[in-house]
Amino acid sequence: MTIKQAVKAAAFLAGFVFILVTVTYIIRTNGGVKDRFTGFYAEKENTIDVVLAGSSPVYPYYSAPKLYGEQGIASYPLSTNNQRPKAIKYLFREALKTQDPSLFIVELRMFTMPDEEWEDTMVFTRGVTDNMKYSVNRIQAINALVSDKSERYTYYFDIFKYHSNWKTMVMPEQLACWNYEKAHPLKGLEIKTGVGPAEQVDLSGVTGTKEPAAEQVEVLYDLLDWIGQSGKDALFLISPYAMEEDARLQYNWLISAIEEKGYPVLDFNAHAEEMGLDFATDFYDYGSHVNALGERKCTEFLGRYLDEHYDLPDRRGQKGYESWDDAFALYEEQQAKAEASCLADIENENWAPEVVED
């Protein structure tokens, strides 16, 4: 092969890869998770000071626009439904490619659930891997999350999964994702409406411990070691919900293990009364996830905790944070409507439909 032929071959290959990656980014299934991740990639470099990771208790519980508007804290949630804990390290690595956060926040709920319950549920693994840009880190995340080597190629080249989504090629909002960067107007937050009353179970007297599933313990210690090597600080959260005693026992073990490594655990369940959290009104799905009323209280409590325990910069008014001012203004508008909707549901006893599990 001549030099000229080699250059042409290289140019063709580069063009093919560019088209393949671009088309894949566009036709990946649209929705809240994709919007959240493309929003993160769209953020200006080195403007995020706090990155949150974890499953569904993250993105509707903790409002990045509110933390910015009231404390000046620039935070962003890299959260997916039923996010398997072994994904967290790779998401933090991904964040460090473009951001230099001083604090990582980890939500702990999924650490109380055996990993094998979720590994075979493809959608939860893909929620992470199919929303990362192509990179070596993404390959490493796939290798960690997908034990069946014969299936990994469908994750490496996720166009195999989404090849039928050609209709998205004519959707302007998806064409805007050609490089997997599209600003999120609420910085990753999803505001939830609806009210599903629950009863708060007092488990404060449960002081025993139960070790979580062995694989989750291994993942936890690996994550703690990695955070220590990264030079970043970390905070672990237990978001409020109507937990059962078995989960409480596992959380007690997790708290002890994490604190032994020198990191704090903020257990919102232990502060529900202080927060003014009302299980009868502040959840949209009968005690599992908060609605807008609960989100406001959780964010306010987290904001106060961060103010008291960390020296995070106040980004309000700084150049480059104009989009955050816009996000806070939009948040206040949409939050007011969502809270009014929840209050109307409470007044009319218009309770959310219960989810029936098969």
Collect contacts of 28-31 with beta carbons under 8 A, ≥24 apart: 28/130, 28/131, 28/158, 28/162, 28/165, 28/177, 29/130, 29/162, 29/165, 30/168, 30/171, 30/173, 30/174
How confident is the model over 277-296, as a mean pLDDT?
Answer: 97
How confident is the model over 224-246, as a mean pLDDT?
Answer: 97
- Using DSSP bridges, classify how beta strands 103-107 and 233-238 pair: parallel, antiparallel or unpaired: parallel
Which pTM does this prediction carry?
0.94
User: Looking at per-residue confidence, does 271 or 357 come out higher?
Assistant: 271
64 closest CA partner among 338, 335, 272, 341 = 335
pLDDT at 356 over 60: no
Q: What is the three-class DSSP state of 260?
A: helix
Which of the four pLDDT bands, split at 50, 70 and 90, describes residue 1?
Answer: low
Q: What is the mean pLDDT of the chain?
A: 93
- Specify the pLDDT at position 358: 35
Interval 40-81: pLDDT, tens = 999 999 999 999 999 999 999 999 999 999 999 999 999 999
Which of the four pLDDT bands, split at 50, 70 and 90, describes residue 149?
Answer: very high
Which of the four pLDDT bands, split at 50, 70 and 90, describes residue 279?
Answer: very high
How confident is the model over 79-99, as a mean pLDDT?
Answer: 97
Interval 23-44: pLDDT, tens = 888 888 889 999 999 999 999 9
Crossing angle for the helix pair 136-145 and 88-96, to the nearest 10 degrees:
170
User: Looking at per-residue confidence, does 11 or 256 come out higher?
Assistant: 256
CA-to-CA separations, 239 to 5, 46, 98, 99, 170, in angstroms, rounded: 59, 27, 28, 25, 39
In the chain, % of residues over pLDDT 70? 94
Interval 160-218: pLDDT, tens = 777 677 677 777 888 888 899 999 999 999 999 999 999 998 999 999 999 999 999 99
The rounded distance, in Å, linking the Cα atoms of 113 and 21 is 34
- Specify the pLDDT at position 176: 86
- Specify the pLDDT at position 3: 78
Which of the four pLDDT bands, split at 50, 70 and 90, describes residue 117?
Answer: confident
- Specify the pLDDT at position 25: 87
In the chain, % of residues over pLDDT 90? 80
266 closest CA partner among 275, 19, 229 = 275
- Specify the pLDDT at position 210: 97
The rounded distance, in Å, linking the Cα atoms of 145 and 135 is 15
